[in-house]
């Protein structure tokens, strides 16, 4: 029986970079017995189809095994990756794969205060959730319990009930605990070796600077179709690059107050300790120091002067849109 690795996230743990890497290196992976199927960079459509009932587990599982059997190299492992899986409260449906595979769950854990900051930036940038994408940081902070999957003890307990503790593969998203970076950390979970034959794509989906993030938050991008929104996302990233190059010290990602950060960590202290002991046989799940109370916090605000806003943000943003349009002609 083959092993099916379900990479369920967490969001903001280099998932886009991992997916780009897997998609770019399909042939190299197959040589090591790993299939990343369906020609997709991310298996979002497949997972959505399964949960909506448009496709069923039995048909998909048989199709995956047929694809494995038809490859030139023997395939021992299959990887499906979609970080939105972690945002689903009940994964019972996916346990149906156990009939056809030995199923293992890969879940990357980022310290909750840092994760919430990054998650805020992501929601403001892409705006796929109208209910929260225009919230201020303080409003977003008050909605933090909505993100139930960041309660690692509770969510991992659910995973254990469905797949068994021995099949839950966890790793913390900290530089010191990923000495070779997130790609190698992920490869270690699946069990393949990244060698010189692999292509390493550039990093994906970095957070915007606080000022550009606030600028994007004020735009009604949630009303735009995905392909149209992607144009503004690209322009926003070009604007962000311009801001980083022209305004010193514009890229700090610390936006939570020390009090907010402490509150989050206190809320998750017991659960994180449970995960650390159960999966890593230690007291602490995360090792990186917490920012000091005196650490500078970035301000999520636009320039107060309207002409400065036009010159600093709007003009470069429109210029980016014009440049992109010209390249398409």
pLDDT in tens, 147-194: 999 999 999 999 999 999 999 999 999 999 999 999 999 999 999 999
For residue 167, the model assigns a pLDDT of 98
**The last residue of a domain, from among 161, 190, 219:** 190
On whether residue 272 sits in a domain, the answer given is no
Segment 215-242 shows an average pLDDT of 95
Segment 53-69 shows an average pLDDT of 98
On whether residue 46 sits in a domain, the answer given is yes
On whether residue 197 sits in a domain, the answer given is no
State how many domains the chain has: 2
Domain region containing 172: 3-112+148-190
Residues 39 and 67 in one domain: yes
On whether residue 10 sits in a domain, the answer given is yes
For residue 251, the model assigns a pLDDT of 66
For residue 170, the model assigns a pLDDT of 98
Residues 229 and 318 in one domain: yes
Residues 159 and 247 in one domain: no
**The last residue of a domain, from among 190, 220, 240:** 190
Q: Which two tokens stand for residue 311?
A: 């010159």
Residues 322 and 173 in one domain: no
On whether residue 143 sits in a domain, the answer given is no
Residues 31 and 174 in one domain: yes
Residues 172 and 26 in one domain: yes
On whether residue 283 sits in a domain, the answer given is no
**The last residue of a domain, from among 140, 157, 190:** 190
Which residue matches tokens 């933090």? Answer: 144
HEC readout, 238-302: HHHHHHHHHCCCCCCCCCCCHHHHHHHHHHHHHHHHHHHHHHHCCCCCCCCCCCCCCCCCCCCCC
Which residue matches tokens 């957070």? Answer: 207
Segment 55-61 shows an average pLDDT of 98
Here the CATH number for the domain that contains residue 74 is: 3.40.50
Residues 34 and 167 in one domain: yes
pLDDT in tens, 96-118: 999 999 999 999 999 999 999 99
For residue 206, the model assigns a pLDDT of 80
Is the per-residue pLDDT at 195 higher than 70? Answer: yes
pTM comes to: 0.95
Is the per-residue pLDDT at 9 higher than 90? Answer: yes
Residues 178 and 65 in one domain: yes
Is the per-residue pLDDT at 205 higher than 80? Answer: no
- β-partners of residue 6 are 80, 105
On whether residue 141 sits in a domain, the answer given is no
For residue 249, the model assigns a pLDDT of 78
pLDDT in tens, 281-292: 999 999 999 999
C-alpha to C-alpha distance for 6 and 98, rounded to whole angstroms: 12
On whether residue 310 sits in a domain, the answer given is yes
Is the per-residue pLDDT at 329 higher than 90? Answer: no
Residues 238 and 156 in one domain: no
Residues 36 and 173 in one domain: yes
Average pLDDT, the chain: 96
Residues 218 and 107 in one domain: no
């Amino acid at each position: 029986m083959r092993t099916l690795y379900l990479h369920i996230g967490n969001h903001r743990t280099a998932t886009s970079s991992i997916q780009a890497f897997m998609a770019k290196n399909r042939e190299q992976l197959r040589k090591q017995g790993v299939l990343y199927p369906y020609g997709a960079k991310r298996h979002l459509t497949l997972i959505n189809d399964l949960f909506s009932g448009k496709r069923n587990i039995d048909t998909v599982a048989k199709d995956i095994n047929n694809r494995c059997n038809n490859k030139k190299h023997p395939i021992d492992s299959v990887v499906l990756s979609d970080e939105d899986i972690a945002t689903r409260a009940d994964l019972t449906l996916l346990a149906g794969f156990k009939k056809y595979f030995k199923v293992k769950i890969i879940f990357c854990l980022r310290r909750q205060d840092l994760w919430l900051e990054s998650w805020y930036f992501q929601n403001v940038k892409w705006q796929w959730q109208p209910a929260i994408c225009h919230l201020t940081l303080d409003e977003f902070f008050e909605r933090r319990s909505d993100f139930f999957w960041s309660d690692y003890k509770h969510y991992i307990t659910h995973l254990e009930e469905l797949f068994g503790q021995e099949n839950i593969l966890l790793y913390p998203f900290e530089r010191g605990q990923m000495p070779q970076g997130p790609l190698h950390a992920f490869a270690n979970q699946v069990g393949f070796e990244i060698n010189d034959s692999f292509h390493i794509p550039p990093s994906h989906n970095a957070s915007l600077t606080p000022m550009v993030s606030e600028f994007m938050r004020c735009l009604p991008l949630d009303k735009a179709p995905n392909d149209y929104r992607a144009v503004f996302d690209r322009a926003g990233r070009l604007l962000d690059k311009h801001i980083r190059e022209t305004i010193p010290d514009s890229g700090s990602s610390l936006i939570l107050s020390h009090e907010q950060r402490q509150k989050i960590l206190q809320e998750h202290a017991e659960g994180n300790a449970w995960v650390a002991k159960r999966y890593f046989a230690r007291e602490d799940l995360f090792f990186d120091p917490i920012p000091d109370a005196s650490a500078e916090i970035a301000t999520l605000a636009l320039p107060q002067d309207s002409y400065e806003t036009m010159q600093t943000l709007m003009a470069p943003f429109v210029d980016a849109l014009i440049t992109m349009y010209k390249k398409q002609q």
